[in-house]
Amino acid sequence: MKIRLDKYLTDMGTGTRSELKKAIRSGKASVNGRIEKKPERKVDTETDEVVFQGQPVPYLEYEYYMLNKPAGVISAVSDRNNDTVVGLIRERRRNDLAPVGRLDKDTEGLLLITNDGALAHRLLSPAKHVDKVYFAKISGHVTEEDVLLFRQGLDIGDGKPTLPAELTICSSGAVSEILLTIREGRFHQVKRMFHAVGKEVCYLKRLRMGPLVLDSNLKPGEYRRLTEDEVNELCSTGKKL
Ligand code: URA
């Protein structure tokens, strides 16, 4: 892919476009060993060697991170008042990363963060019905009747019942623990489904999205890059579905 030198460096998070135009004009960038002062110079992202302020800057088209989202952080790129999930990815190179879908501020767990817009689109498309698995603590007894109701689909006030969801009771008591698999991503869906059967979610954590499973070594707030196998599996699953 051929792109302008200033875009190349902006994509790699070395500064804003206007800062980079200035820096390039003042001789801070080189391409294949030669100082390049034209921000509009086209560079080949695969073969040209770009150096900025003495540091080689290899091009990375896509970045993929798995975050164990902590509670209290919002699923956004930037926000005036709150920490954001993208802000937690300190090693990010690209400046166009975004979360794939949202978890509520108080929800924890698996969040994919990438700049691969086509993948994000496939994973979020309502037509693809990508499985999402959640662990939750529910105040009140979760019963076999709830399991049936979740399987049948619930009216959560959208005018259209939810798709059949798989509810597994891990323990039932004053606070019950459950696993839930849903194939949609409606706003506050898990909380609204329990609300529809008269119960409250008091803790919610996403464990899986399609083939991507939350790495149990990641503590809340920790993240890692996806492995090549995870990326390949995610990409092909989205296409097959
Ligand atoms: N369902 C919810 O209610 N909240 C989330 O964060 C995710 C799914």
- pLDDT higher than 90, residue 156: yes
Tens-digit pLDDT profile for residues 36-86: 999 999 999 999 999 999 999 999 999 999 999 999 999 999 999 999 999
Does the model's pTM come out above 0.75?
yes
Contact 29, 15 (CB under 8 A): no
- Mutual orientation of helices 117-124 and 228-240 as an angle, nearest 10°? 50
* Measured distance CA(226)–CA(110) in Å, rounded: 12
| Cα of 139 from ligand 1 centre, angstroms | 16
State the distance from the centre of ligand 1 to the C-alpha of 108, rounded, in angstroms.
Answer: 9
Nearest C-alpha neighbor of 175 from the set 200, 195, 198: 200
176 Cα: distance to centroid of ligand 1 (angstroms): 17
Structure tokens at 77: 């790129």
> Which residues are catalytic, by number?
104
Ligand 1 contact, 104 CB (< 6 A): yes
- Asked if residue 240 has pLDDT above 90, the reply is no
Ligand 1 mutation pick, 189, 193, 208, max ligand atoms within 8 A of CB: 189
Lowest mean pLDDT, pick from 127-131, 188-192, 206-210: 127-131
